[in-house]
Amino acid sequence: MKKNLPEPDAEALYRALLAQVNAGLVDIPDPVIVGIHSGGAWLAERLAADLGIPEERLGFVDVSFYRDDYAEKGLRADVKPSHIPFEVNGASILLVDDVLYTGRTTRAAINELFDYGRPAQVMLAALVDRGERELPIAADFVAEYLQVKDNQSIVLHRADDGIFSLTVEHAS
Amino acid sequence: MLPNPQLNQHGELQHLLTIEGLPKEVLTHILDTAASFVSVSDREVKKVPLLRGKSVFNLFFENSTRTRTTFEIAAKRLSADVINLNIAASSTSKGESLLDTIDNLTAMQADMFVVRHAQSGAPFLIAKHLRDTGREHVHVVNAGDGRHAHPTQGLLDMYTIRHYKHDFTKLKVAIVGDVLHSRVARSDIHALVTLGVPEVRVIGPHTLLASNLEQMGVRVFTDMNQGLKGVDAIIMLRLQNERMNGALLPSAQEYFKSYGLTPERLALAKPDAIVMHPGPMNRGVEIDSAVADGSQAVILPQVTYGIAVRMAVMGILGGS
């Protein structure tokens, strides 16, 4: 169910994020990008295309096997395979997620990356930071800070033509 | 109708005892999840932390090195602690009952039992006992019970077929050999029918075919050349040596003449048909070496996928 307030312009936020990432990666040789399924994967795909980062330096992770709520919630029905086509040892990784919230997803993603190797550094980009962190995690690049109620979630959508939109929905 | 003993009140898989009666969605969920586990085995660290701190007991009352090993690898790649019980040398041989063994192991904080037993229904008995004694949090996986079911083999066969053929709803699949005694055949038939394969065939001599096969939704052939015509996948069954001693079959050579999969017979199937076998193979009895080692054989990939499928099953059970 959609919510009242004016919904943020995801395309404008994406352009802001792209500009930040573009500036932030200037001094980093051969960075790689890893998107967290599913919203972060869409963003990572588009960032890689706009930054001229080739396919072999673009990866995706699904953190389902690393989540800390597995014992309560079990495995989601729509787990996607993780795909890391590059050597993680020594890589400078830009991790991308759509919404940064408690930090638990980021923690799980970092854990997963380390099972592929020891990266030189991991940076984090998020389209939206909604605060309320439960772990000591911060993003390097954020397009917008948004506050929503505990029972709401911010959801990124990608239309067939690739255009992004954001909605604020009541969490189920 | 009684509720399915494998599902909890939310319809989630609680135990995996048989494919019979499981909804298509549950089977598809397992296959989809397995696809995500395949790549875990290619990584530097071949482990995910899902079952960290959990104890999986392999209870093999009947020997099977391959199945036990693949369950052990799967559980270890989920970070579980695996305890293999050598039943032949343990308390059961001193007269302890099956359920007493289970009670003792749950007192050691077992979280999951992987059970292979010569008696059909043994894993059901264990699951029922756990439920009756209020220990629903302990899960049971059937790793083969008597002639009844071998659900993870059935699922890994489905995974393999889907990997190579993509869409179940256009396929002809033949199962060849000792269907009568085969729990693999039974699990495969239930899975193929549930997943929407329009034509499931079984091929074998009358003495090795069960009487109720048509009711299971399959076409029966006693002539292998007829049965193989135009199929997309061939599942060969192992001919168990002990069948040769009875009156069921004349000899291994005779059997090979009529039901051995040779390159000539394979040519009757579709040109891109795949050849599967649950192992261990009897070369020259049910399958010619030229086929077993040929380009259409996917017997070794089956083994690899079997690990991912077992990881998926244990991963789904452990979170339900």
ipTM of predicted complex: 0.84
pLDDT digit string (tens) for A109-134? 999 999 999 999 999 999 999 999 99
Contact B16, B317 (CB under 8 A): yes
Q: How many CA atoms lie within 13 A of B229 on its CB side?
A: 6
Is residue B60 domain-resident?
yes
The pLDDT, as a whole number, for residue B97 is: 87
Is residue B3 domain-resident?
no
Per-window interface: B 17-56 vs A, CB < 8 A? 29, 32-33, 35-40, 43-45, 47-50
pLDDT tens, per residue, chain B with 320 residues: 457 889 988 888 999 999 999 999 999 999 999 999 999 988 889 999 999 999 999 999 988 888 999 999 999 999 999 999 877 666 666 677 889 999 999 999 999 999 999 999 999 999 999 999 999 899 999 999 999 999 999 999 999 999 999 999 999 999 999 999 999 999 999 999 999 999 999 999 998 998 888 888 899 999 999 999 999 999 999 987 766 666 677 788 889 999 999 999 999 999 999 999 999 999 999 999 999 999 999 999 999 999 999 999 999 999 88
Binary contact (A65, B29; C-beta < 8 A): no
Q: Chain A within 8 Å of B283 (Cβ-Cβ)? A: no
Is residue B143 domain-resident?
yes
Sorted by sequence, the CB contacts under 8 Å of residue A47 that are 6+ apart come out as A17, A18, A21, A33, A53, A94, A96, A125
Q: Which of A156, A149, A139, A147 is nearest to A170 (CA)?
A: A149
Binary contact (B39, A83; C-beta < 8 A): yes
Are residues B277 and B160 both part of a single domain?
yes
Q: Which of the residues A34, A65, A113 would you substitute to probe the B interface, choosing the one with the greatest number of B C-beta atoms within 10 Å?
A: A65
Do you find a cis peptide bond into B250, omega within 30 degrees of 0? no
The pLDDT, as a whole number, for residue B251 is: 84
Are residues B164 and B298 both part of a single domain?
yes
Are residues B73 and B201 both part of a single domain?
no
Amino acid at B176: V
3-state secondary structure of A137: coil
Structure tokens at B253: 């050579």
The pLDDT, as a whole number, for residue A7 is: 76
Binary contact (B43, A115; C-beta < 8 A): yes
Binary contact (B12, A78; C-beta < 8 A): no
The pLDDT, as a whole number, for residue B283 is: 94
Are residues B80 and B98 both part of a single domain?
yes
Per CB-CB distance under 8 Å, the chain B contacts of A77 are: 29, 32
State the Cα angle at B117 between B111 and B119, rounded to 5°: 130
Are residues B42 and B106 both part of a single domain?
yes
**What is the H or E stretch that residue B141 is in?**
strand B139-145
Sorted by sequence, the CB contacts under 8 Å of residue B30 that are 6+ apart come out as B13, B155, B309, B312, B313, B316
Are residues B192 and B262 both part of a single domain?
yes
Are residues B265 and B310 both part of a single domain?
no
- Strands A164-170 and A152-158 turn out to be antiparallel
Q: pTM score, two decimals?
A: 0.92
Are residues B116 and B176 both part of a single domain?
no
Count of domains forming chain B? 2
pLDDT at A54 over 90: yes
Q: Out of B40, B44, B319, name the one closest to residue A71 (CB).
A: B319
Do you find a cis peptide bond into A82, omega within 30 degrees of 0? no
Contact A122, A95 (CB under 8 A): yes
The pLDDT, as a whole number, for residue B93 is: 66
Sorted by sequence, the CB contacts under 8 Å of residue B83 that are 6+ apart come out as B55, B56, B57, B58
Binary contact (A74, B320; C-beta < 8 A): yes
Are residues B73 and B174 both part of a single domain?
no
pLDDT at A58 over 70: yes
State the Cα angle at A9 between A127 and A61, rounded to 5°: 30
Per CB-CB distance under 8 Å, the chain A contacts of B315 are: 65, 75
Is residue B6 domain-resident?
no
The parent domain of residue B295 ranges over 151-303
Cα–Cα distances in angstroms (integers) from residue B103 to residues B72, B98, B121, in the given order: 22, 9, 18
Domains of chain A: 10-23+30-64+83-170 (3.40.50.2020)
The domain that contains B261 carries what CATH number?
3.40.50.1370
- Residue A95 CA to residue A31 CA, distance in Å, equals 11
Q: Out of A75, A115, A117, name the one closest to residue B319 (CB).
A: A75
Sorted by sequence, the CB contacts under 8 Å of residue A71 that are 6+ apart come out as B319
Per CB-CB distance under 8 Å, the chain B contacts of A116 are: 43-45
Confidence of residue A103 (pLDDT cuts 50, 70, 90): very high
Are residues B129 and B253 both part of a single domain?
no
Contact B150, B118 (CB under 8 A): no
pLDDT digit string (tens) for A132-170? 999 999 999 999 999 999 999 999 999 999 999 999 998
- Strands B172-176 and B233-236 turn out to be parallel
Q: Chain A within 8 Å of B316 (Cβ-Cβ)? A: yes
